[in-house]
Structure 1
Amino acid sequence: MAATVNFIRRLILVFIIALPVLVVTKANAESPILDRVLDRGVVKVAMTGDQPPFNVVSRSGMFIGYDVDLAQALANAMNVELEIIKVPFPELISAVQAGRADMIISGMSITSQRSKQVSFVEPYMVSGKSLLATSERMAQLEQDGGFNRLGIKVAALKSSTSKTLVQLNIPKAEIVGVNNYEEAIKLIRERKVDALFADMAICKLAVLRNPNDDFVTLQRPLSMEPIGVALPHGDLHFFNLVRNFMVSYERVGLMTKLRSKWFDNGEWLAQLP
């Protein structure tokens, strides 16, 4: 945990040196959400806690991941504490709509349907979809004509873009909705589904974490999807504050450092349960 805190401090130091100091006060807020955040001294961020390397609960019970570091950096810039609200993926949007959380930072793809419900800040990264299966099953399916056939079962996270893409691209396959990725991996092991359709980062991580299962994933993503921070509709001041922070964060290279830490370096895997 100390290493993570020090890492965030280094990132914020670079941010402060490279940019004018971001000062947020009640007097200049003029924003109902920002007023609420400043009054309580806490920003509440919703995430699932089961989307490594975006976010996950470590063996010590702490939230870690790309999204966690990003949320902590934002809280530091606003001079408030960070409170992570653990919410299942299908309930993330309703959590911010109901005011349980101030924003979503949870590897959420920006889509037109979701944009009707929440306001997305411009992407903080681009992801892509892939398939995870055992090497034996993947080879069989490729030999027998692929996944778009009756009798094929593909797991996908409920209320996710993965589920939508399965419906569009392999409509003959049966979709098995799951609440989290561990549930999907268990179903693959038990041969109750043929594959998992998910973000390529999730599929690659599953291969690394489960060497005895002989999992494989595709070499190239099947799609490209922007990932963004989601905010409640109707608060332009709060939206602009978060957007300005995210744009500045990218410009000074701090996003690159986070991507390197969580997607290119596997040291954090030792913290997983």
Structure 2
Amino acid sequence: MKRIVLALMVFATLNMFADDINLWKKSTLNKVLQKGQLEVCMEPGYMPFEMKDKKGRIIGYDVDMAKKMAKEMGVKLKLLPTAWDGIIAALVTGKCDIIMSGMTITQQRNLKINFANPYVVVGQTIMMRKGLEGKIKSAKDLDKPEYTVVTKLGVTGEVATRKFFKKAKIVTFETESDGAAEVLNGKADAFVYDQPYNILFMSDKGKDKLIHLDTPLTYEPLGWAIRKGDPDFLNWLNNFLRQMKEDKVVDFHEKLNNKWLRDTSWLKRVQ
């Protein structure tokens, strides 16, 4: 009897080991290592996370992080510019290995894809025309039929806009730059979008021309997205992120924050 029990235990252990091997073979991380290349989907238009410079090269916070990630994996990096409305589908269908594109972690997106731990936390803020200074002090003050509020289509900024503005007229645009320009040109009263983008816009084109209500309306953690059912890749990404944040000798994460989120000298490269 003891021999039978022992045999069953050995058999179960071997089956568990085989399952682990099969999971690893199917893992995106294993496939990346096998092909020697990390393929990243991103939409180059979300400053300062990913955008094109004057020479057409994709640069930004996420780009530098992707380069570091590929280096730590010992593979090459391939950036795949992808339209925002199709970026999740591109990941799910295997056209890329990961989304690194300033994507906000939401419960709705999490039904389709998995996220690594947040690498940056942002929120939606409001830029408005200078003529409203002193008159409008909060989103509530702006929620009136005589005001037009603009945002980008299909992002969390649109979700927040529709949540906070029930009376104001809402207009959406394909890109954040078009939405911000609408307010800058006096064709709309306010623009709702991610805080980092609005801060940078106010330090450049919006300086002395717009007003920034910089208290975030929302809490929005940004995360890297991967396909579901891939614990090995998720484990590696979370450990990589932890190392980047906690290693005070290399201090890569802090240098990245200074380079892209605090310093605005890179704006000269994209104008």
- Which digits, 9 at most, give the CA deviation of each residue in 1:33-55, with x for residues without a partner? 22332333221111111111111
Matched, 1:196 2:191: yes
Residue in 2 that maps onto 1:205: 200
Cα shift at 1:222: 2.3
The residue correspondences of 1:14-33 to structure 2 (distance < 5 A) are 29-33=24-28
| Aligned-partner residue type, residue 68 of structure 1 | V
Asked if the contact 1:89–1:158 (Cα under 8 Å) also holds between the matched residues in 2, the reply is no
Query: How many angstroms does 1:185 deviate by?
Result: 2.2
Alpha carbons of structure 1 residues 212 and 201: separation in structure 2 relative to 1, 3 Å: closer
Counterpart for residue 34 of structure 2: 39
Q: Which moved more, 1:263-272 or 1:65-74?
A: 263-272
Is 1:234 the equivalent of 2:229? yes
Partner of 2:10: none
Distance in 1 separating the partners of 2:193 and 2:155: 9
| Corresponding residue of 1:215 | 210
**In the alignment, residue 44 of structure 1 is paired with which amino acid?**
E
Distance 1:152 1:214, change over 3 A: same
Structure 1 pair 47/82, CA: closer, same or farther in 2 (3 Å)? Answer: same
- Sort the Cα spacing of 1:108 and 1:244 in 2 relative to 1 into closer, same or farther, 3 A: same
For residue 28 of structure 1, report the CA deviation from its aligned partner.
10
Aligned 8 A contact 1:154 1:194 in 2: yes
Superposed CA offset, 1:160-208 (max 9, x none)? 1111111111222232222211111232234332211011111111122
Task: Check whether the contact 2:125–2:217 (CA below 8 A) recurs between aligned residues.
Answer: yes
Deviates more, 1:251-260 or 1:48-57: 251-260
Cα RMSD, aligned residues only: 2.4
* 2:77 alignment partner, SS class: strand
Partner of 2:12: none
Indicate the larger mover: 49-58 or 148-157: 148-157
Question: Unaligned regions of 5+ residues in structure 2, if any?
Answer: 1-20
- For the pair shown, the structure with the greater C-alpha radius of gyration is 2
Residue 165 of structure 1 aligns with an amino acid whose one-letter code is A
Q: 2:266 maps to what in 1?
A: 268
Aligned residues: 248
Displacement, 1:63?
1.2
TM-score by length of 1: 0.83
| Offset at residue 103 of structure 1 (A) | 1.0
One-letter amino acid of the structure 2 residue matched with residue 234 of structure 1: G
Range with greater deviation from structure 2 (167-176 or 101-110): 167-176
CA displacement at 1:138 relative to structure 2? 4.7
Task: State the secondary structure of the residue aligned to 2:95.
Answer: coil
Matched, 1:136 2:134: no
Distance of 1:192 and 1:101 partners within structure 2: 39
SS of 1:193's equivalent in the other structure is coil
Deviations 1:45-86 (A, max 9, x none): 111111111111111211111111111111111111111111
Alignment partners' CA distance in 2, 1:46 and 1:258: 20
Change (3 A) 1:250 1:223: same
